[in-house]
Amino acid sequence: MPDNPRILVDDDTRVLVLTGAGVSAESGIATFRAAGGLWESYPVEKVASPEGFDEDPELVWRFYSERRRKARTCEPNPGHRALAAFEARLGDRFLLVTQNVDELHRRAGSRRLIEIHGRLFQSRCAHCERAPFDDDHAYDAGDPPLCEVCSTAGRIGMLRPHIVWFGEMLDPSHLLRIEEFMNAARTHRFVFLAAGTSGAVYPAAAMVDRARLHGAETWLVNAEPAENTHRFHHFVEGRSGEVLPALLG
Ligand code: BV8
């Protein structure tokens, strides 16, 4: 791998990007599985699963409220901004898929963005079909919040974070949009780039395999080898806030 690799892009190239928690690390947001990560303080099945929410909604709301408080104080880093600039260059030949829920890609200006694991600053009702709504409240004192729509209808409906938990399906419309982008890209030069992800969570960790089936040249940028590094053509070890501006510049 040359010292300063670059992803060469011509007028025909389609680029699909997948990011994970490592892309937000330089903004001060804890990752999940690295040392000192979130899962060290909280057992994942207790705070990021529907069973955990059913068992102890107060604990789950404390976990997400703490993350809302923290994420509000963080800013996008050069890695987020490099991806937003790359989107501005490529337009509809670019699509960013993120596992991150911190909304820093949004705040950096990314718009061709799919947040496949949900959004930290949205809530929804766990019991009715009410659409997810913007919500930056920290509900960590007292009872979990209730849905007004349910209350008005004389029901008890508890609010939950608009997050995809383990054991929950991803939004089918998100998966369809990703598949459609890959199908359209297969007759062009197609690059798949993953950044800041340990490759531990599915179906996101299998995107590299789908992309290769569609003829993509695949790149991984990560601070350390990931679980699926061997499935990428290129691996650039480093911090995404430093590597991405050079790689995409
Ligand atoms: C589902 C909640 C159907 C939001 C999350 C096979 C196929 C399908 C499903 C499964 C399967 N096998 C198992 C499953 C079930 C499960 C799964 O994948 N389990 C794993 C643990 C084996 N998947 C699911 O349940 C998914 N649902 O598929 O439904 C189904 C259901 C059941 C059974 C079968 C099918 C739902 C997955 C979504 C779960 N929700 N989070 C939240 O609270 O945030 S996942 C969670 O992990 C986060 O969303 C996070 O984004 C995601 C992935 O983690 P990473 O982003 O990669 O973060 P991590 O800390 O791991 O790594 C960061 C990396 O960055 C590190 O390598 C580090 O070195 C690096 N780094 C650090 N600093 C930097 C850096 N890199 C660059 N620069 C830096 N500065």
Q: If you measure from the C-alpha of residue 151 to the centroid of ligand 1, how many angstroms do you get, rounded to a whole number? A: 34
Distances (CA, A) of 201 to 121, 132, 174, 198: 22, 24, 16, 8
pLDDT in tens, 141-192: 888 999 999 999 999 999 999 999 999 999 999 999 999 999 999 999 999 9
Give the residue from 208, 190, 210 showing the smallest Cα distance to 199: 208
Domain ranges for the chain, please list them. Answer: 1-29+76-117+170-249, 31-73+119-163
Q: Is the CB of 98 under 6 A from ligand 1?
A: no
Q: If you measure from the C-alpha of residue 148 to the centroid of ligand 1, how many angstroms do you get, rounded to a whole number? A: 32
Q: Is the CB of 46 under 6 A from ligand 1?
A: no
Whether residue 145 contacts residue 123, with contact meaning beta carbons closer than 8 Å, is answered with yes
Which residues, 6+ apart, have CB-to-CB distance to 5 below 8 Å?
234, 236, 247
pLDDT in tens, 69-125: 999 999 999 999 999 999 999 999 999 999 999 999 999 999 999 999 999 999 999
We find that the CATH architecture of domain 31-73+119-163 is 2-Layer Sandwich (3.30)
Residue positions annotated with a catalytic role = 117
Q: If you measure from the C-alpha of residue 27 to the centroid of ligand 1, how many angstroms do you get, rounded to a whole number? A: 19
Between the two ends of the chain, the Cα-to-Cα distance in Å is: 17
The pair of three-digit structure tokens given for residue 19, joined into one six-digit string: 């990011």
Domain 1-29+76-117+170-249 has CATH 3.40.50.1220: yes
pLDDT in tens, 187-196: 999 999 999 9
- Tell me how far apart the alpha carbons of residues 77 and 231 are, in angstroms, rounded to a whole number: 27
- State how beta strands 159-163 and 118-125 pair: antiparallel
pTM as predicted: 0.96
